[in-house]
Structure 1
Amino acid sequence: MPDWSARLNELAVAAEVTGAVLGIWHDGETTLAPYGVLNTTTGVETTADSLFQLGSISKSWTASMIVQLAAEGRLGLDDPIVKLLPEAPVDTRVTVRQLLTHTSGIDGDLFTDTGRGDDCLQRYVGLLADVDQLFEPGTAYSYCNAGFVLLGRLIEVLDNRTWDESLKARLVEPLGLRHTVTLPEEAILHNAAVGHTAADGSRVQTWQLPRSIGPAGTITSSAADVLEFARLHLTDATYAPMQEPQVPYAAGIGGFVDLGLTWRIYDWGGRRLFGHDGSTISQLAFLRIDPEARLIMCLLTNSGNGTRLFEPLASEVFTEYAGVAHPVAPQPAEAPVDDRHTGRYERASVRLDVSRRADHLVMTEQATGDRLAFAEEPVHEYELLPTEPLDGNHFVTRYSPEHPWLPVTFTPTRVFTSGRVTPRR
């Protein structure tokens, strides 16, 4: 059996990750391995029970509560959200299922801080009246944080308490979790990580996303608690529908081939896994579950370089216990480019400008609106390189030469990147 603490140390140093905790649960046995420091300013060392932000892994917790409510007969997954939540100023055709599967068409990257009060989700939902509808509900996939705030607000209305309180009552307390919180005043009672930028490892100045984004991404937890939550989805049939494919995911990054009810479904060498990733302010988290091998792996990091650590480490863990490795990312290929996709693309919080430079395309990403409040790098330039199929519409890019390639796909009216549809303006 490998020394996972030693391997985490070696790979984290190579990936220039500041701090991390690796959690492995395999057929009843748990391994926890900490690495590095939680904060370069204080030098506090990472411990096995340290808390890291889960980012969008929080969505699977919110989805689990929605599935509980469905099992209780208090909502239907195909109910229009406005039937259950009349205050929601969204297309009347948008259903609960579409919110769970990012197919509502709502332009979802709205990061407005609506305050620390218990009414923050209600106030956030009111702002959706001014948000664009990117496509007809149910006709496409585009990652939608706002949809999960809507679901969180629905939980509040049906449970007559805040989303945070429902999370505690429905999941945290029944599972006996002692290191899972949502608010900063709770996190400071533990050893909590702060984010560090990928560029130079410096500590970021903003610790957490606004409370209004809670159901989409503000759970802070330990690796042991994440493993315990994931085990629920191996053992309790109530949550089995979350693992059933709902929407195909064409980009296929990291083996992600289908979306269930929020869970991402992966094909790793013919084996079916499910899980989710999360990204907040320079804290990246990863969760993968293999039901056949009875294997769960989570990796919590406080560095923008977390992906550079996750992919090789996940390959080693899953090769050891399940005989499969993390899929290879798409690679660039030689092909001429033209100007058909040059121009501006824009959605909430992001503007993308595509231009031609000599024999290749360049995409400049600009954070806009409320996202500027916590963007570590408000402007970043990406080189776009052709990839298979060589039709002039498919490209790959990466954050830096050390990071994995990511797909970028164009149509005449939009670009699909980072799991999101961005319309051409």
Structure 2
Amino acid sequence: MPDWSARLNELAEAAEVPGAVLGIWHDGETTVTPYGVLNTATGVETTADSLFQIGSVTKTWTATMIVQLAAEDRLDLDEAVVKLLPEAPIDPRITVRHLLTHTSGIDGDVFTDTGRGDDCVERYVALLGDVDLLFEPGTAYSYCNAGYVVLGRIIEVLDGRTWDESLKARLLEPLGLTQTVTLPEEAILHRAARGHVASDGAPVKTWQLPRSIGAAGLITASAGDVLQFALMHLTDDRYAAMREPQVPFAGGVGGFTNLGLAWRIYDWGGRPLFGHDGSTISQTAFLRIDPAARLVVCLLTNSGNGPALFEPLASEVFTEYAGIAHPAPPQPVDVPTDDRHVGRYERTSVRLDVVRRDDRLVLVEHATGDRLAFAEEAATEYDLLPTEPADGDHFVVRASPNHPWVPLTFTPTHLFSSGRVTPKV
């Protein structure tokens, strides 16, 4: 068996990731391997029980609680959200399932800080009346953090307590998870990681997203606890329906082909896996589950360079235990480009400008609105390079030379990137 500590060390150094923990559960055996430091400013060593922000992997925990409520006959996945939240300014056509599958049409990257009080989620949902629909509910897919906050509010109303309290009562305590938290005053009681900017490795100045975003991405956990949560989904048939395909996803990164109820479904070498990724303020997390191989793998990192570490490391781990590898990312092709997609694209919290510079196209991403409070940089530029099919609508970008290529697609009316629909304005 490979020395995972040595491989993690070598690959993390190459990817310029300061600290990480690799967790592997295979057929009853658990291995947790730490690397590096949690914070380059303090030099605190990463240990197996260190806590990292898992970002949007949180959505699978929120969805699990919604599925529990459905099993208790306290909601129906296909009923209108306004039936459960009559006061919420939500389009009456939007259902719970739409929220779970990112098909509600709500412009999803709303990061408004509504305070630290227990009413922060309720106050956040009340603001959504000012947020536009990107498309008619149920007609398309666009990744939606706001939708998961609404799901968090549904949990609060039905359980009569905060989302954080329901998380503890419904998942943390029954599973015996003692190294999973949501609030900074809880995280500080553990060895908690600090994010580091991908471009220069500098420690971030803002540690966590607003509490109002909790149900969409605020869990901070150890690799061991993430493995235990994932193992529940691998072994407990009550949650099997969560990984049944609901929405096809064309051209997804890393073999992402379909979406279940929160879980992303991947095709690796013809075999279905499920999992999710998460990204907060320069912390990135990855979780993959292979039912056929009885294999769970998670990687928690304290760097925006996490993807550059995950892809080669996951390939080695899955090749060893399952005989499959991480799908190769798309590659650029050398064909001419035209200016049909030059212009401005905009949605809540982001503005994307496509411009021509000499013989190349450039995508300039601007953080706007509430996102400016924790953006690594106010503006980031990417070279837009054509990819297959070489039709002038499909391109790839990457954050740095050691990052994998990421696809994006243009239509005459919008740009689809990072799983999000951004209208051309």
Q: TM-score range by the shorter chain?
A: over 0.9
Q: 1:265 is paired with a residue of what secondary structure?
A: strand
Instruction: Tell me if 1:418 matches 2:418.
Output: yes
1:392 maps to which residue?
392
| Residue type at the aligned position of 1:270 | G
TM-fit CA distance, 1:358: 2.4
**What is the Cα-based RMSD across aligned positions, in Å?**
0.6
Instruction: Tell me if 1:331 matches 2:326.
Output: no
1:373 maps to which residue?
373
TM-fit CA distance, 1:402: 1.4
Q: Which moved more, 1:294-303 or 1:86-95?
A: 86-95
Cα distance between partner residues in 2 of 1:233 and 1:36: 30
| Residue type at the aligned position of 1:266 | Y
Cα distance between partner residues in 2 of 1:200 and 1:336: 32
Cα distance between partner residues in 2 of 1:314 and 1:401: 19
The C-alpha deviation readout for 1:156-205, integer Å capped at 9, x for no partner, is: 00000000000000000000001000000000000000101111211111
Cα distance between partner residues in 2 of 1:337 and 1:360: 8
Cα distance between partner residues in 2 of 1:87 and 1:35: 48
Correspondence 1:216-227 to 2 at 5 A: 216-227=216-227
1:90 maps to which residue?
90
1:273 maps to which residue?
273
Cα distance between partner residues in 2 of 1:56 and 1:252: 17
Correspondence 1:3-402 to 2 at 5 A: 3-402=3-402
Structure 1 residue ranges without an equivalent (≥5): none
Q: 1:351 is paired with a residue of what secondary structure?
A: strand
Q: 1:408 is paired with a residue of what secondary structure?
A: strand
Cα distance between partner residues in 1 of 2:109 and 2:46: 31
Cα distance between partner residues in 2 of 1:41 and 1:360: 38
TM-fit CA distance, 1:14: 0.9
Cα distance between partner residues in 2 of 1:200 and 1:411: 34
| Residue type at the aligned position of 2:218 | T
| Residue type at the aligned position of 1:196 | H
Structure 2 residue ranges without an equivalent (≥5): none
Cα distance between partner residues in 1 of 2:404 and 2:281: 20
Compute the TM-score of the two structures, normalised by the length of structure 1: 0.99
Cα distance between partner residues in 2 of 1:60 and 1:378: 30
The C-alpha deviation readout for 1:283-342, integer Å capped at 9, x for no partner, is: 000000000000000000001111111000000000000000000000111222111111
TM-fit CA distance, 1:251: 2.0
| Residue type at the aligned position of 1:197 | V
Q: Which moved more, 1:350-359 or 1:145-154?
A: 350-359
Cα distance between partner residues in 2 of 1:188 and 1:92: 41
Cα distance between partner residues in 1 of 2:19 and 2:323: 28
TM-fit CA distance, 1:252: 2.1
Cα distance between partner residues in 2 of 1:207 and 1:354: 31
Compute the TM-score of the two structures, normalised by the length of structure 2: 0.99
Q: 2:293 is paired with a residue of what secondary structure?
A: coil
TM-fit CA distance, 1:40: 1.0
| Residue type at the aligned position of 1:209 | L
| Residue type at the aligned position of 2:214 | G
Cα distance between partner residues in 2 of 1:237 and 1:402: 40
Cα distance between partner residues in 2 of 1:358 and 1:251: 29
| Residue type at the aligned position of 1:367 | A
Q: 1:174 is paired with a residue of what secondary structure?
A: helix
TM-fit CA distance, 1:255: 0.3
Cα distance between partner residues in 2 of 1:132 and 1:228: 38
TM-fit CA distance, 1:391: 1.2
| Residue type at the aligned position of 1:349 | S
The C-alpha deviation readout for 1:217-262, integer Å capped at 9, x for no partner, is: 0000000000000001011111111100000111221000000001
Cα distance between partner residues in 2 of 1:12 and 1:353: 32
| Residue type at the aligned position of 1:164 | D
Cα distance between partner residues in 2 of 1:42 and 1:246: 45
